[in-house]
Amino acid sequence: MSTPPDAPVAAPVPAGLMIGSLRVWPPTALAPMAGITTAPFRQICRRLRCGLVATELTNAEGLARRAPKTLHFLESWPDERPLAAHIYGHDPEIMARAAVVAEELGRFDLIDINAGCPAPKIMRRGEGAGLMKSPEKLKLIVQAVCSAVKLPVTVKTRIGFTYERIVISEVAQAVEEGGGAALFLHGRTVDRRHAGFADWALISRIKQERKIPVIGNGGILTAADALQRITEAKVDGVMIGRAALGTPWLFDEIAARCEGRVWTPPAPAEKIALLMEMVEGLVRLTEMEHKHRRRVHYLPEPSAVMQFRTHLAHLLRGRVHQRDLMRQCMSVKTVADVRAALEAVIT
Ligand SMILES: Cc1cc2nc3c(=O)[nH]c(=O)nc-3n(C[C@H](O)[C@H](O)[C@H](O)COP(=O)(O)O)c2cc1C
């Protein structure tokens, strides 16, 4: 999947991505993923030159009340910035208060409003992708948040509900008119969730229609895909989700290609060390979470290792025939098991 060291490199990508006054370079972002984009993963993606990272989805109502359980979702570690606080809700006033709390924490460089989450319980309340039903309401929310904070405000959304109900032109217009500084646009409809075709032609059209930066998202698997999207769809940047799971060095490869440099992949031992650092970070983060929630009887290691299984599963893409390896990876319970699994997978 990666480029061999002697392969020709793409032409350098000229400009940086500007979100308000924030310069993002390289023009790449790690897509927010609930239960996955926690501090240890984000920290490693940033070290591997991902331009921007975002927190997990955080409930505005809990954040506005400064509920400790909610604040835990906004836990961040050194060297992660630029970092977006990714929040959801439906009430402009509560969203604005939540944004103020996030800004006061002093750890974030922008506030990102979720207008794309397809979970029925969220959509039913008019939150997440539910906001796409009413661009006017979304505009009010963006305006309220923009008036409450100094940080740039962005929106992450989708192209529509179904192919019969594409609403992105109106939604993008609402974000821009509300004062949004950029749009993160997932090129799939709500009914497709995270699967299937992402419509980059439509993403590209929205980029041409709007003045604010448009960062495209959906289905990018390789550095070549990322560069192709930037140069052909002419988006201001690309956001990557699942392709970075287990292989965060993808961002480093994209950075090298954006700069017209040849990229050398990390050696297997380096890859294992990076991923082990992530697992150990997840154990520390889970320990903190159990303390917050006073879960004295829970051990952090098994739940941290369980979270890491997603990364192992992605490392095994295309190797379904290796049943023993799959079994080993999907049954890891301790940090030592993870090391053994990584040593078997990354060779
Ligand atoms: C497990 C998982 C959790 C996700 N959680 C969120 C979320 O909390 N907020 C959001 O805006 N998108 C969320 N997404 C969508 C991603 O941000 C992204 O838009 C999607 O995965 C498409 O990008 P990709 O094809 O590069 O993975 C999630 C996706 C996955 C797979």
Rounded to an integer, what distance in angstroms lies between the CA atom of residue 55 and that of residue 85? 5
Domains of the chain: residue spans and CATH: 17-258 (3.20.20.70), 268-345 (no CATH)
pTM: 0.94
53: its two tokens: 């990272």
Of the candidates 221, 228, 273, 223, the residue with the CA atom closest to the CA atom of residue 253: 223
Q: 32 alpha carbon to ligand 1 midpoint, in Å?
A: 6
pLDDT tens digits for range 68-118: 889 989 999 989 999 999 999 999 999 999 999 999 999 999 999 999 999
Residue nearest to atom 10 of ligand 1 (CA): 32
User: What are the start-end ranges of the E strands in the chain?
Assistant: 17-19, 22-24, 28-30, 53-54, 58-59, 83-88, 110-115, 153-162, 165-166, 182-189, 214-217, 237-240
According to DSSP, the residues that pair with 154 across neighbouring strands are 112, 182
Does 8 have pLDDT greater than 80?
no
Cα 43 from Cα 53, distance rounded (Å): 9
- Asked if the model's pLDDT at residue 325 lies above 70, the reply is yes
Distance (angstroms) between ligand 1 centre and the Cα of 87 equals: 14
DSSP letter for 331, please: T
pLDDT in tens, 222-277: 999 999 999 999 999 999 999 999 999 999 999 999 999 999 999 999 999 999 99
What gap in Å lies between CA 35 and CA 56, rounded to an integer? 7
Residue type, 182: A
Would the CB of 34 count as within 6 Å of ligand 1?
Answer: yes
